[in-house]
Homo-oligomer: A and B are copies of this chain.
Amino acid sequence: MSTTVAPASMLPDAPVAGMLANAIRMLSIDAIVRAGEGHQGVPLGMAEIATALYTRHLKFDAADPTWPDRDRVVLSNGHGSMLLYALLHLTGHARMGIDQVSTFRDFGSRCEGHPERDLASGIEVTTGPLGQGIANAFGMAVAEAHLNARFGPGLVDHRTYAFVGDGCLQEGIGQEMIALAGHLRLGKLTLLWDDNRITDDGSTDLSISEDVADRFRVAGWHVQELDGHDLEAVSDALEQAHADPRPSLLACRTVIAKGVVRLQGQRGGHSGKLFAEDAAAARQALGWNHPPFALPAEVRDAWLAAGARHRSDRQAWQARVAALPAAQRAEFERVLAGELPLGWQDVLANYQRSALAREPLASGIFISAEIHDALTELMPERLVACADLEAPTNHKRRLQAFTAQDRAGTYVHCGVREHVMGAMANGIAAHGGAVPLAVTYLAFADYERPAMRMAALMGLPVHFVFSHDSIGIGRNGPTHQPVEILASLRAMPNMLVLRPADAVEAAECWAIALAHRTGPSTLVFARQALPHVRTAAAAENLSRRGAYVLADAEGGPRRVTLLATGSEVALALAARNLLQAAGIPTAVVSMPSWELFAEQDAAYRSQVLGPGTVRVGCEAAMRFGWDRWLGDRGGFVGMRGFGASGPADVLYRHFGITPEAIVAEAQRLLATAPQPAHGPA
């Protein structure tokens, strides 16, 4: 669906266009001088580029920043946040009034040091850690291409742009994005590169010799090199970019901090402190005779017109949505809202029953794959990405690949590129309309961890799925054996970590994750087969409280509480049998999610943990973090360092993670613990 635009007569002529760019500059300078800090390099260097994009090409309506078919813009060089704030303010975004811009970097201002995702204000994603933004933009373009194929161009047809600096392109994640976006030929993705030849350390000559434009060309991008201060050239290049089926790079040669006479084109242009004298000199250099934060009427009006240029497009789109057949409209609105389809819980309940009946036992990751097989028809909005581990992680099975030729596919072969996979998933979630899963081995979680942190910070509903979750992977050895990674993910705010013990818990954990919309979830599965620790499909989702008594003590008041997660729950159950046989009433607590358990009320937590009982935790991982649940006199059976190369069963014995070791630890603690009033049996 091609976009209707305002007639040319409404567009500003060249002198006014120059003033529009300078409006960005002076707003930025005034805000940075007032704040006493900030990064002027980007907003001053990219002012014409941004003006060309926002006044002539970008499909958006400032009156409705969340219009689903808007073009997406990512400020990947997020330190240049004033560029984005100036644009949102100038185009008339209601939540970005002058009260916000004039309090840039104050606590409580929406104009924060770096942009923080706030759709209502027009901020698509949080940026700052370099490279994440362009990879998010890539994910948005993937989402758009897929939704365009699924729902048609009448409903989904928009572009994705990213402002990008040298840093984003030096980062490995940026390089991964260049390769994969070129491979997938995402023609509606356009990068606007601020080629200013300066980074924080000084000249880019210090750290890069390659021709960046050529690097994009090698990856199959459409590349144009131009003067980033020539607004007409930028505008023409955007038209060329739109006409080309490849993703496009506009390599825009710019002068960093252009307009600040003292610093422009120099290292200090990046973020050297600006003073009132710099603002005064800039006013003179730019011919800008207006007080701080004030705009001449023609500039204000022209910018507001840009913000309203596509209002009729939005209204036409809304009319098309309203005119859809009811079922189609409901489905479209459901996926845009991120709502789950009717019947999804039945699918999971059915899966539990079938899994319980099945022989032989399945591996943890295969259980997860089967659950997704079962959801295939009901949840076509899932986009599954995997970093070259299709066979061992098994989540493709019923899906077609998303390729340059087939946008209807829902499985993205990412190559061995975990970092862009994670950030792409973030971009898909930020875009909306699709539910991303990113799948790899848990040992490689670190490779995508910076993206996982961004998902947590933004509160994006991304599912990070991991297999091969412990020494249970066996002979590939310690590089591939996570021992500290569960702890490192549990330490992350707003990250929901789920490690199910068997098929029933896996279905419960997926139910929790799919319904979790305020942040990412991490789902951790064993490579090895998981015996059933739950022997019946549950009416109630027991995992929802994070931890629960799986097997209670028998023959007297509970004296020992064994706490375990994932594949170690079965070991705890075996240890319980031994302890019960020795006359020691023992309960087993399964703890699929610490975060959910921490949210329960104190009474429930106390009941589960068994106050006054001897507690032993068991997890094939480091103890770090467990003391919260084990208490002052708790014991732990797990790893004390990195793993080793050997068969899984040998390793479990070698590292002393066995029912017998759990029993020994419990008995050691019983021998030294204060005796309960009722005394031992």
Contact = CB atoms under 8 A, between A and B. Distances in A.
Interface stretch (A291-299, A319-327, A644-652, A660-668): A644-652
A627 B624 contact: no
Contacts of A386: 201
B488 A416 contact: no
A218 B178 CA distance: 14
A128 B127 CA distance: 31
A476 B87 CA distance: 20
Given A113-B645, A179-B170, A218 B215 contact: yes
A654 interface: yes
Nearest to A128: B479
B641 A210 contact: no
A48 interface: no
Contacts of A641: 493-494
B179 A176 contact: no
B654 A107 contact: yes
A641 B491 CA distance: 10
Given A220-B209, A415-B170, A487 B491 contact: yes
A491 B484 contact: yes
A200 interface: yes
A630 to B, nearest CB: 9
Given A112-B645, A170-B179, A206-B401, A457 B475 contact: no
Contact of A413 (B106, B130, B206): B206
A332 interface: no
Nearest 3 CB-CB pairings of A with B: A172-B172, A107-B646, A207-B415
A172 B417 contact: yes
Contacts of A401: 206
A511 interface: no
Given A37-B475, A220-B209, A479-B457, A170 B176 contact: yes
13 contacts: A35-B475, A105-B646, A114-B479, A127-B479, A129-B447, A170-B176, A170-B415, A171-B418, A172-B420, A201-B413, A456-B642, A487-B488, A491-B622
Interface in A470-519: 474-480, 483-484, 487-488, 490-494
Given A114-B645, A207-B415, A453-B446, A390 B201 contact: yes
Given A446-B450, A487-B487, A491-B624, A388 B199 contact: yes
Contact of A647 (B107, B202, B220): B107
A108 interface: yes
Contacts of A201: 386, 388-391, 413
Contact of A491 (B182, B454, B625): B625
Nearest to A452: B446
A488 B486 CA distance: 9
B207 A388 contact: yes
A309 B474 CA distance: 38
- Quick one: copies of this chain in the complex? 2
Interface string A216-238: 00111000000000000000000
B215 A390 contact: no
A389 B215 CA distance: 24
B199 A477 contact: no
A183 B166 contact: no
A390 B206 CA distance: 11
Interface in A379-419: 386, 388-392, 401, 413-419
A391 B267 CA distance: 11
A313 B115 CA distance: 59
A175 to B, nearest CB: 3
A475 B37 CA distance: 9
A89 B222 CA distance: 50
Given A207-B415, A632-B632, 19 more contacts: A112-B645, A113-B477, A116-B477, A170-B179, A171-B417, A172-B175, A175-B176, A179-B208, A199-B388, A201-B389, A446-B449, A454-B479, A457-B642, A487-B625, A488-B491, A491-B491, A494-B641, A494-B642, A624-B625
A31 to B, nearest CB: 12
A426 to B, nearest CB: 13
A62 interface: no
B416 A171 contact: yes
Nearest to A489: B488
